[in-house]
Chains A and B, each alone.
Chain A
């Protein structure tokens, strides 16, 4: 295209056309971290889906997570060829167990040295990184 100009590299942005996860990402526009729970069998469903994985008749309700969680495991990425993430290295990716049950993959930020300052079992809390269409739920260490 003629008017194409150098774009600032961005995070991989979720597609809002994906029907199971659309509502989760829509809620991030208001900085709400949401998950689903079955009204009938109380199963916490995450990632979001249209059906309950615990029973066949359940109705799922959207809940808001407190944003408090624990590092289940993590790694520090030191090599990436992606235009956005390569400028972030070294950065920490982690599986975060939210207090309400969902386990999500995210980043842990706000530390001096990600290879030394993160521990499995460490408490973390939600922080939002502003995006162009949606906002990104990332986590910082609770000191």
Chain B
């Protein structure tokens, strides 16, 4: 392989607790995770010369986080595109490093969404600031919830392509199976008081309570606390780090929003993915691992199609028969081997965990390790699938 080797993920850390009981702040989660990720790389604060922040540390986050960490970076990037922000930031870090503007980039995330009782999906408080966007001002009277927004994609997908609840359930079942192998995910489900912590069946999923038709409880992600950090470095730095580098070999970014006559069964991923695969010089069929933002089952199904693992409309039959499990390496990539947002953690912006688990896979450190994994995709979706959202696709290659 003649992959571009301009920048690599050299340090990672996932904050273990999903319920900090209000005793730890988002900023503290970010700093703790940063320190641990730097340790993982064999680096320290003084080595960091670029920071990337999605605003979870508060207003003017580029300044806030630099002071809080006690560093003076040369590159400050505050790309905030929702849950996909970390894929955007990883792409920008690679670009900045390749351009010689930085050598060690630090991405962090911290959230106490669970402790704050943020009922993100079902009309709880806390999502709207003082000012209002024109789009919100037009749509909020309808009482559409975040879950209903995604559900409208599932409804339309089913109408267009005959996608069934049983097919969508495959995504939840495979993800839970991976979660049960990940002690941190099992602990998360205990801490968040899941009623039934075990592997699930398709029957379990399709008989669970409907939240917004057709999406059921076991197709919806959890709301946890959490966070993490990623350190990205130049090839020169990467060579001297403690773990083997995981190279960022491709990236793509895109937006999508409602258009008169538009198609909501196609996400922004249909624009970002071809760019990323062309950049990496690999095709979807070569991938071993797919880390896809699983806010809901339908998010994954739509994005599997948009990433090119199957044609538009064929996602339903593609996922059938347990194909997404980690122990089916000949059937295409394994999905969300950490347990995903459905069964491991979802503090609001899950994109960073996609990079973390993809890196573990390419290091050989996953609890659901895909044998001989060499290529992975991390695809973040930020905002809402059924209306307006961003997509960041990152292709990673092992050393």
Q: List residues 246-289 of chain B with CB under 8 A from any CB of chain A.
A: 258-262, 264
A103/B260 in contact, CB under 8 A: yes
Closest to B263 in A: A72
A46 to B134, CA, bound (A): 10
B152/A76 in contact, CB under 8 A: no
Closest to A49 in B: B134
A11/B143 in contact, CB under 8 A: yes
A105/B123 in contact, CB under 8 A: no
B213/A76 in contact, CB under 8 A: yes
In the complex, 10 of the A-B residue pairs with CB atoms within 8 angstroms, ordered by the A residue number, are A18-B134, A21-B134, A44-B260, A47-B134, A75-B155, A79-B145, A97-B260, A101-B260, A114-B213, A120-B155
Partner of A93, one of B143, B153, B264: B143
B211/A79 in contact, CB under 8 A: yes
* A66 contacts partner chain B, Cβ-Cβ < 8 Å: no
Partner of B213, one of A13, A78, A101: A78
- 1/0 contact trace for B123-151 toward A, CB 8 Å? 11000000011110111111111011101
Partner of A75, one of B119, B122, B134, B151: B151
Q: Among A13, A76, A102, find the residue whose CB has the most chain B CB atoms closer than 10 A.
A: A76
B134/A73 in contact, CB under 8 A: no
* A82 contacts partner chain B, Cβ-Cβ < 8 Å: yes
Q: List residues 38-75 of chain A with CB under 8 A from any CB of chain B.
A: 44, 46-49, 72-75
A14 to B213, CA, bound (A): 26
Partner of B262, one of A79, A103, A104, A136: A103
Question: Knowing A75-B212, A93-B144, A105-B144 touch, does A80 contact B138 (C-beta < 8 A)?
Answer: no
Question: Knowing A75-B151, A79-B122, A85-B123 touch, does A107 contact B142 (C-beta < 8 A)?
Answer: yes
Give the residues in chain B near A85, CB-CB below 8 Å. Answer: 123, 143, 145
Closest to B139 in A: A105
A82 to B209, CA, bound (A): 19
A80/B143 in contact, CB under 8 A: yes
Q: What total of chain A residues lie within 8 Å of the partner, measured CB to CB?
A: 47
Tell me how far the C-beta of B46 lies from the nearest C-beta in chain A, rounded to whole angstroms. Answer: 46
B134/A48 in contact, CB under 8 A: yes
B141/A75 in contact, CB under 8 A: no
Question: Knowing A12-B143, A13-B141, A20-B134 touch, does A73 contact B153 (C-beta < 8 A)?
Answer: yes
- 1/0 contact trace for A99-125 toward B, CB 8 Å? 001111111000000110000110000
Given contacts A75-B155, A95-B258, 7 further A-B contacts (CB under 8 A): A49-B134, A75-B214, A77-B145, A77-B148, A79-B212, A95-B386, A97-B261
A105 to B135, CA, bound (A): 10
Tell me how far the C-beta of B119 lies from the nearest C-beta in chain A, rounded to whole angstroms. Answer: 5
A36 to B372, CA, bound (A): 56
Tell me how far the C-beta of A38 lies from the nearest C-beta in chain B, rounded to whole angstroms. Answer: 13
* B159 contacts partner chain A, Cβ-Cβ < 8 Å: yes
Q: Among A48, A73, A75, find the residue whose CB has the most chain B CB atoms closer than 10 A.
A: A75
Tell me how far the C-beta of A1 lies from the nearest C-beta in chain B, rounded to whole angstroms. Answer: 20
A95 to B142, CA, bound (A): 10
* B244 contacts partner chain A, Cβ-Cβ < 8 Å: no
Closest to A105 in B: B139
A74 to B153, CA, bound (A): 9
